[in-house]
Chain A
Amino acid sequence: MKGDVAMAKHLLSVLVENHAGVLSRVSGLFSRRGFNIDSLAVGVTENPDISRMTIVVDGDEYVVEQVSKQLNKLIDVIKLKKLDRSESLSRELALIKVKATATTRAEIIQIVEIFRAKIVDVSKSTLTIEISGGTDKVAALEDMLKQFGIKEIVRTGTIAIERGNRIIKPNKNEEE
């Protein structure tokens, strides 16, 4: 699904040096220059020296270009690519703790099944659901669960990868 072209959420995949202080440099840059981060997810890559950040940026073309250029100026940023939504897969993971009673429990389980989500924990008064998927899917489940009373939500933020054989490597974009 493509959003509004002018103000949209843009996906940036950023390879950074995996050492202390990098996250604060990146987040500092966003606050200093008044850019809006929608989400930022970071984890180590197949190379332990390098981490990958997936950043979702809110803004128009000008903002995304500025964000990209300013990020590239950071010495700790090794490689940056703006991902085309139609050419990439994006997922986020959410854990949702929802109120459940004897009467609502069955209905919640049914909804969870429709969404191909999972129940990962139960208590007398709650169900904890794990869902992964695009932002829209997670939002849709959240919406469906609202009626039962959501007690807590924890989200990872979006991670994304390109479709097909394309990969983002430190020195160049490669096809294999």
Chain B
Amino acid sequence: MKITGAQAIIKALEKENVNVIFGYPGAAICPFYNALYDSKITHILTRHEQGAAHAASGFSRATGKTGVCVATSGPGATNLITGIATAYMDSIPMVAITGQVSTELIGKDVFQEADITGATAPFCKNNYLVKDVKSLPRIIKEAFILAGSGRPGPVLIDVPVDVQNREFNFEYPETVDIRGYKPNYKGHPVQIKKIAEAVKKEKAPVICAGGGVVNSKATSELVKFAETCNIPVVTTLMGIGSMPCDHELNLGMLGSHGVYTANYAVHNADLVIIMGARVGDRAMGTASKIAERAEIIHIDIDPAEIGKNIAATIPVVGDVKMILDELLPIVQKGDVDKWTQTIKKIKAEHPLKYTFKEDSEFIKPQYFLKTLSEMAGENSIITTEVGQNQIWAANHYKINKPGTFISSGGMGTMGYGLPSAVGVKVGRPECRVITIAGDGSFQMSMQELGTIKQNKLGVKIVIFNNSRLGMVREIQKQRYCGRYSQVILNENPDFVKLADAYGFKGEHINKNSQVRDAIARMLEDDQPYILNCFVDPEEPTL
């Protein structure tokens, strides 16, 4: 039976077990939306295409499935770009489908034409402009394979409107062979043996766990490895949740905004075992110094990450979980107890500390987050915005499960928190979803309150309101002699009135003594809520 290209996309999505997509229509994608009308796939209409991409990303990170977003040609497609780039930097599986002007008009600069495959090439694992409807099934299959396998990432499919309308005999392939793509999952046995030898020999090892550990679902293997060999673990921002935060071997996040002990461990180790992390500058800005004193084991599924930012003495290409599975039976604890004792001592001497008064003028975000994580419990998923709010959350909210801390790491995209929370709540309605926002970032995506309202999504919104672009202000304070240039947001709206405009409950607080009761009220039900916390503009990030 012949069906149209648009119907074929829907059928292919159904074959890929996609039941939710996020998007925004327009003329060039109308045939798709027309076919969607007859489908069981749930479509979440966001208020901006960037929100659709971020929501697909949040959905993916909370469910482990590939997120799907859809937009029209031209401005719809270009609005997706920040979301696609954000997903690319954090290796999030995503398929983006865009409408395009009719094939015969491509290149003529017609209304709403944009070269979206050209524009997104740097941020996509691969992308396609579909010129022949007959290639559509293969391309969609390839897109899902590429997005979700190896090192995951976004793939974009640009479908001209005439291709969406063309009829053809649809047949969806079970699988396809992509000859230029052969990800390697199994680590080389010789290299794995070398890891075991190094672990046995060195006296001051540390594990650095990144987002790859979360992606490969290797938490229990990581914990077992660390415990068996008594090796402390530090995480990157993307690695938060890869090891329970309350595990005594977990030292917390490393890097320029990280925890003292985590950085101490990495800079004093004689063996650094990097797993599923790309040694980004925010985490390991001093990579060459670290490599000078320590042996470096680098495990990553992407061979191009190995040797890029740090020279590895033992490079291992493969999936972290599969490699740990091979390693665990042969690994033996080394002579490390003295080192681990030292680390324990340093951890005790340098706790994440802050002082606060109950009867304050401002909320202490660190105290708020600690309290929130105690009260919200294990069944909660946190998303964050970017800025001081993100770092406070990374360091002070106690994350114990992988996939429950969702934040833009590599790109640091303001406006990610709220739409990603939309995706999380859609994907995991049984979970409590809380987004930790800054007043600046929140205003970059606050139109998504409409999406939350329309879809009855019980997203809890905490705004750390310092009426500032706090993190940039802090840079200006420290490095630009306090010349505060364009970082003051004195005319913020009343966020509780804004909540009210959407029919949500909300509350302002500014005293630490209010924190517990306010959180309790926020968490009382599964309705959207805005808790606006006034925070001292002078409050430091660390």
Q: Which residue numbers of A lie inside 8 Å of B, CB to CB?
A: 16-17, 20-21, 24-25, 28, 32, 62, 65-66, 69-70, 72-78, 170-171
Contacts and interface: CB of A to CB of B under 8 A. Distances in A.
Given A32-B122, A75-B126, A21 B179 contact: no
A78 B121 contact: no
B385 interface: no
Contact of A69 (B121, B178, B303): B303
Contact of B180 (A32, A62, A69, A74): A74
B117 interface: yes
Nearest to B306: A69
Contacts of B126: 74-76
B121 A25 contact: yes
A170 B180 CA distance: 9
Contact of B304 (A21, A25, A70, A78): A70
Given A32-B122, A74-B180, A170-B179, 16 more contacts: A16-B180, A17-B180, A20-B129, A21-B117, A21-B129, A24-B118, A25-B121, A28-B121, A65-B307, A66-B308, A69-B308, A72-B304, A75-B126, A75-B178, A75-B180, A76-B126
A75 B181 contact: yes
B426 interface: no
A72 B303 contact: yes
Those 10 A-B pairs whose CB atoms lie nearest each other, nearest first: A69-B304, A75-B126, A78-B180, A75-B180, A75-B181, A78-B179, A77-B180, A73-B304, A70-B304, A69-B303
Contacts of A70: 304
Nearest to A76: B180
B125 interface: yes
Interface string B120-149: 011001100100000000000000001000
Nearest to B126: A75
Contacts of A65: 307
Interface string B289-313: 0000000000000111001100000
Contact of A75 (B117, B122, B125, B303): B125
A25 B124 CA distance: 11
Nearest to A74: B180
Contacts of B118: 21, 24
A69 B301 CA distance: 12
19 contacts: A20-B129, A21-B117, A21-B129, A24-B118, A24-B121, A28-B121, A28-B122, A32-B122, A66-B307, A72-B303, A72-B304, A73-B302, A74-B180, A75-B126, A75-B146, A75-B180, A75-B181, A76-B126, A78-B180
B interface, how many residues as a size bin?
10 to 19
A75 B307 CA distance: 21
Interface in B107-121: 117-118, 121
A28 B308 CA distance: 19
Contacts of B304: 66, 69-70, 72-73
A74 B121 CA distance: 10
A78 B180 CA distance: 4
B510 to A, nearest CB: 46
A65 B303 CA distance: 10
Contacts of A28: 121-122
A59 B290 CA distance: 25
B261 to A, nearest CB: 32
Contacts of A69: 303-304, 307-308
Contacts of A78: 179-180
A171 to B, nearest CB: 8
A31 to B, nearest CB: 10
Contacts of B179: 78, 170-171
Contacts of A66: 304, 307-308
B423 to A, nearest CB: 26
Contacts of B129: 20-21
B154 to A, nearest CB: 13
Nearest to A21: B117
Contacts of A24: 118, 121
Contacts of A171: 179
Contacts of A17: 180
Contacts of B125: 75
Q: Which of B125, B178, B181 has the most CB of A within 10 A?
A: B181
Nearest to A28: B121
Contacts of B308: 66, 69
A28 B118 CA distance: 10
Nearest to A70: B304
A62 B179 CA distance: 26
Contacts of A77: 180
A133 to B, nearest CB: 33
A24 B117 CA distance: 11
Nearest to B179: A78
A74 B126 CA distance: 7
B512 to A, nearest CB: 48
Q: Which of A24, A66, A73, A170 has the most CB of B within 10 A?
A: A73
Contacts of B180: 16-17, 74-78
Contacts of B178: 75
Contacts of A72: 303-304
A171 B308 CA distance: 26
A16 B179 CA distance: 10
A99 to B, nearest CB: 41
Contacts of A21: 117-118, 121, 129
A70 B122 CA distance: 12
Interface in B270-306: 302-304
